[in-house]
Structure 1
Amino acid sequence: MNTTASNLKILVIDDSNTIRRSAEIFLKAGKHDVILAEDGFDALSKVSDFSPDLIFCDILMPRLDGYQTCAIIKRNARFSGVPIVMLSSKDGVFDKARGRMVGAQDYLTKPFTKDQLLKAVEQFGAPAGGATP
């Protein structure tokens, strides 16, 4: 059976409760399972427990920033193939380049719209080996 980009497990990592809740509402409207983490440390245990299909990760967070979080996830062989889309309130070329250096697939500027978020899910959330419609 060929699966489409629906019913994915998506982890949203952001220290802003507003951003986490917005992302959760948008992603659940797209019929996805959503896991929320408030910082990088919280995210690392949830990645291990839930094995998400796609991760949205804020860049500016306390304790462990988005770049560090992304790099740690990508270094783990079990999760190195999981697409990560960085989230930031800055739309800087340097931030985008640094995100790619640590293994991020793309970059979304906050505040994002429901359409932008679901488009990123469609683009990066296709199951491994599965064809996108």
Structure 2
Amino acid sequence: MRRARCGARDPVIDRIVAIKTVTLDAHDAEAQEEIARFKREAQAAGRLSHPNIVAVYDYGEEGDLAYIVMEHVDGGSLETRLDAGERLPLPQVARVMDELLAALGHAHEKGVVYRDIKPANMMLTGSGQVKVADFGIARIESSTMT
């Protein structure tokens, strides 16, 4: 099972997008679980529309590759910034927490329990806005898959 992330340009809409891919292997039970988690990520994030959640535009499978096309976030993760020694001023910490809680509240209202909050999954745009990403282990209400 191989995962990759890259940026691309959508030529029809003329926008930059992010593409997350996973290689499909129908003969490996562990790979099948990974594929199910990948689809669940697209389903969970795809049902949400919120300014603090990375938007999912498309999911598909082509040959031995599954992909999710999503909003490109022009900044890095909170983890990257913290690992580089950057410390956020207290007012920005309060804003980050407010936006994170707004995103999680919206997800819960739509029946999605996120379950993987960590700095690596919190993207910060160039202007400092929070975008929650990676819904791979989210639980979707009315689904037994987690």
The TM-score with structure 2 as length reference comes to 0.28
Which one has the bigger strand percentage? 2
Which one has the bigger helix percentage? 1
Larger radius of gyration: 2
The TM-score with structure 1 as length reference comes to 0.29
